């Protein structure tokens, strides 16, 4: 196993001032306000409101209004959101609420009347504070990345918007966030990103940091005009393995790591480095504020403010099989969940043992009714399901690429290190069988045979899978010290992937929109601009990195420890023509 040089703390460096600690933060705000006007402190869902409230007296406001106290009664909010949250443990339906739907107009009117007669300093804080105030002399935004929100919900430390639900299991908490709360928060955040006076990072308890809104916006603009990486996060899994511990230099005392999200901007964080310190924000702030520069006009036209490409790791080295699963078809995800595109994906094998396998597609002449009946029987009785009676089991080796358009039954077997390249929708996995095991919470993981049976593409059987879904590699071009291959994806998928092998400089042309790459072979490489648009950017083995569309043409070559050796990248971008 190679020595790790994987960077777990990538950042965008900025020149500016960082304000640290509650005392310094409130002193700055007091000086800015001079004892009068309206100060709004807006909070994303998941912020520790109790911590904020403990320190609010330092602002010495004459009138204090908590936005959360002006919501409709909890029962009304639960009734309002039930159709979208649903009773399902995992899945809801995408809503389109804003804070106006949660706030009681009569309560807000009373609060605004109090504000009108106040001649001193008014503070409005909490979830929806800006919409309560209606105006502000100073706007402070306390942000929160979804990954940290998930950690807090697992520890039962936070509630949803307008509901006391911290005791619910983490999957239900995530579901309310995904389908309701984060949509509400993001709608307001998008309005405040261009105008907020200050932005705060409270991801580490009792260690708040604040920068000006102007510096934040400079950081987002700089990030969207250079190669960058989001902050990877790692998580254990019932099937998790040991590979990432060594390659990514993770805590060896943990039982396993199954997941790494290293390019899922709606989930990941982004670090800005200010005065030598890391300032954490959600990485989708770049998507919201610099959409066209990041994605490119054609991708923005198709996906709006969604980042459409997802890279993550699935580690089953010395682990177990993933659940047997299928992803919804496009029409099904629209009709059932209100999501407008689905999770097409692929498995790229970064590494594999000699015994590694991938389950993909159905056996020839499989009987759908028989298979669904046996899946249901396994679920109802706890008896094993004979996976290999119905599903192909393929030997897998390093650098294989398996294409998995929606509706295709699949899962990684044990002994594989998968780089999963997929479309972004992230929770719509219909598990059909989970090998009789429990989740990390000690409970059976949800099985979704009913959903899955409605989207399985039964014609995707052995011969078709072998021909069109495994290592569909086509040579594209070559030059001195490099060659380019098309490795997929399937014609039904909107993502194109290209693999480059190189011992010298490779030029990547402009005009393909945002690119997402991973260094799949070689110790390190350097990304450079032929026109000097950005500073040279060094990447290491297994690191995923993003090249914004604004960068245009760029080059990659072996660097440092890899000079004189063969390296390889895999690149994904949105396909507009074959």
Q: Where do the domains of the chain lie?
A: 12-223, 234-468, 474-574
Q: Please tell me whether residue 6 adopts helix, strand or coil conformation.
A: coil
Beta strand pairing call for 37-43 and 121-126? parallel
pLDDT-derived band at 489, boundaries 50, 70, 90:
confident
> Can you count the helices (H) and strands (E) in the chain?
19, 31
Mean pLDDT computed over 287-313: 96
For the chain, the 3-state helix, strand and coil shares in percent, each to the nearest 5, are 30, 30, 40
Amino acid 343: pLDDT:
87
440: pLDDT strictly greater than 80: no
Mean pLDDT computed over 380-384: 90
Give the C-alpha distances (Å, rounded to integers) separating 326 from 432, 433, 454, 495. Answer: 8, 10, 10, 18
pTM comes to 0.95
pLDDT-derived band at 242, boundaries 50, 70, 90:
very high
Amino acid 427: pLDDT:
78
Q: How far apart are CA 91 and CA 150, in angstroms?
A: 16
Give the C-alpha distances (Å, rounded to integers) separating 123 from 138, 202, 266. Answer: 10, 19, 30
Each residue of 322-367: pLDDT tens digit?
999 999 999 999 999 888 888 899 999 999 999 999 999 999 999 9
Q: How far apart are CA 554 and CA 529, in angstroms?
A: 5
* Fold entry, domain 12-223: Rossmann fold (3.40.50)
With beta carbons less than 8 A apart as the criterion, state whether 223 and 271 touch: no
Mean pLDDT computed over 535-561: 97
Give the C-alpha distances (Å, rounded to integers) separating 141 from 151, 209, 431. Answer: 21, 11, 38
Amino acid 146: pLDDT:
95
Mean pLDDT computed over 69-81: 97
* Phi, psi of 219, rounded to the nearest 5 degrees: -65, -40
Burial of 12 (0-12, 13-18, 19+ CB in 10 A): buried
CATH number of 474-574: 2.60.120.10
Q: Please tell me whether residue 422 adopts helix, strand or coil conformation.
A: strand
Which H/E stretch holds residue 546? Answer: strand 544-547
Q: How far apart are CA 513 and CA 552, in angstroms?
A: 9
Mean pLDDT computed over 558-568: 96
Q: DSSP for 469-495?
A: TB---EEEEEETTEEEEEEE--TTSSE
With beta carbons less than 8 A apart as the criterion, state whether 328 and 455 touch: yes
Q: How far apart are CA 185 and CA 177, in angstroms?
A: 10
Q: How far apart are CA 410 and CA 390, in angstroms?
A: 11
pLDDT-derived band at 172, boundaries 50, 70, 90:
very high
pLDDT-derived band at 122, boundaries 50, 70, 90:
very high
pLDDT-derived band at 432, boundaries 50, 70, 90:
very high
Q: DSSP for 349-390?
A: EEEE-TT-EEEEEEPTT--HHHHHHHHHHHHHH-PPP-HHHH
Each residue of 190-228: pLDDT tens digit?
999 999 999 999 999 999 999 999 999 999 999 999 999
DSSP code, position 3: P
2: pLDDT strictly greater than 70: no
Q: How far apart are CA 533 and CA 527, in angstroms?
A: 11
490: pLDDT strictly greater than 90: no
Mean pLDDT computed over 34-63: 97
Mean pLDDT computed over 421-429: 83
75: pLDDT strictly greater than 70: yes
Amino acid 199: pLDDT:
98
94: pLDDT strictly greater than 70: yes
* Fold entry, domain 234-468: Jelly Rolls (2.60.120)
Helices (H), 178-329: 182-192, 213-223, 243-247, 284-289, 291-295, 297-303
DSSP code, position 241: B
pLDDT-derived band at 424, boundaries 50, 70, 90:
confident
pLDDT-derived band at 4, boundaries 50, 70, 90:
confident
Q: Do you find a cis peptide bond into 489, omega within 30 degrees of 0?
A: yes
Q: Do domains 12-223 and 234-468 have the same CATH topology?
A: no
Give 393's strand partners: 359
Beta strand pairing call for 63-66 and 121-126? parallel
Q: How far apart are CA 418 and CA 357, in angstroms?
A: 11
Across the chain, mean pLDDT equals 95
Q: Name the residue among 87, 185, 91, 159 with its Cα closest to residue 425.
A: 91
Please report the sign of the dihedral spanned by the C-alpha atoms of residue 26, residue 29, residue 34, residue 37: negative
């Amino acid at each position: 196993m190679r020595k790790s040089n994987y960077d777990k703390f990538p950042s965008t460096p900025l020149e500016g001032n960082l304000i640290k600690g509650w005392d310094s933060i409130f002193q700055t705000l007091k000086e800015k306000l001079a004892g009068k006007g309206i100060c709004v402190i807006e909070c994303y869902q998941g912020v520790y409101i109790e911590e904020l409230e403990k320190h609010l007296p330092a602002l010495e406001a004459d009138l204090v209004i908590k936005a959360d106290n002006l919501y409709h009664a909890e029962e009304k909010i639960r009734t309002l959101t039930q159709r979208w949250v649903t009773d399902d443990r995992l899945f809801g339906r995408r809503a389109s609420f804003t804070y106006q739907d949660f706030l009681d107009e009569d309560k807000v009117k009373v609060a605004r009347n109090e504000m009108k007669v106040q001649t001193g300093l008014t503070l409005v804080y909490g979830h929806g504070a800006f919409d309560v105030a209606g105006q502000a002399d100073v706007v402070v935004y306390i942000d929160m990345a979804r990954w940290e929100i998930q950690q807090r919900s697992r520890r039962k430390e936070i509630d949803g918007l307008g509901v006391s639900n911290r005791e619910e299991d983490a999957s239900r908490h995530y579901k309310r966030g995904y389908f309701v709360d984060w949509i509400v928060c993001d709608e307001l955040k998008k309005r405040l990103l261009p105008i907020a006076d200050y932005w705060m990072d409270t991801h580490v308890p009792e260690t708040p940091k604040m920068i000006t809104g102007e510096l934040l916006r400079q950081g987002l603009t700089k990030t969207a005009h250079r190669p960058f990486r989001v902050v990877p996060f790692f998580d254990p899994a019932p099937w998790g393995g040991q590979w990432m511990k060594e390659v990514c230099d993770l805590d060896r005392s943990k039982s396993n790591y199954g997941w790494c999200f290293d390019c899922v901007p709606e989930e990941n964080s982004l670090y800005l480095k200010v005065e030598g310190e890391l300032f954490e924000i959600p990485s989708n702030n770049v998507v919201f504020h610099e959409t066209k520069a990041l994605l490119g006009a054609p991708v923005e036209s198709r996906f709006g403010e969604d980042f459409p490409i997802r890279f993550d790791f699935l580690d089953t080295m010395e682990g177990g099989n993933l659940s047997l699963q299928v992803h919804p078809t496009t029409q099904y995800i629209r009709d059932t969940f209100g999501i407008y595109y689905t999770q097409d994906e692929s498995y790229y094998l970064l590494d594999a043992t000699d015994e590694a396998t991938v389950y993909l597609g159905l056996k020839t002449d499989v009987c759908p009714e028989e298979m669904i009946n046996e899946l249901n029987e396994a679920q109802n009785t706890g008896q094993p399901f004979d996976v290999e009676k119905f599903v192909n089991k393929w030997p897998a080796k390093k650098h294989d690429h398996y294409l998995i358009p929606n509706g295709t039954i699949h899962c990684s077997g044990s002994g594989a290190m998968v780089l999963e390249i997929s479309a972004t929708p992230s929770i719509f996995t219909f598990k059909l069988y989970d090998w009789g095991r429990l989740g990390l919470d000690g409970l059976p993981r949800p099985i979704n045979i009913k959903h899955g049976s409605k989207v399985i593409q039964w014609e995707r059987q052995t011969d078709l899978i072998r021909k069109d879904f495994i290592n569909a590699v086509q040579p594209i071009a070559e030059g001195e010290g490099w060659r380019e291959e098309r490795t997929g994806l399937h014609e039904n998928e909107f993502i194109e992937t290209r693999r480059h092998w190189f011992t010298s400089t490779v030029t990547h042309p402009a005009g393909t929109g945002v690119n997402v790459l991973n260094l799949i072979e070689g110790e390190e490489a350097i990304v450079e601009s032929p026109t000097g648009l950005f500073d040279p950017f060094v990447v290491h083995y297994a690191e995923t990195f993003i090249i914004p569309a604004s960068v245009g043409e760029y080059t990659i070559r072996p660097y440092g420890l890899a000079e004189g050796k063969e390296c390889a990248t895999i690149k994904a971008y949105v396909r507009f023509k074959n």
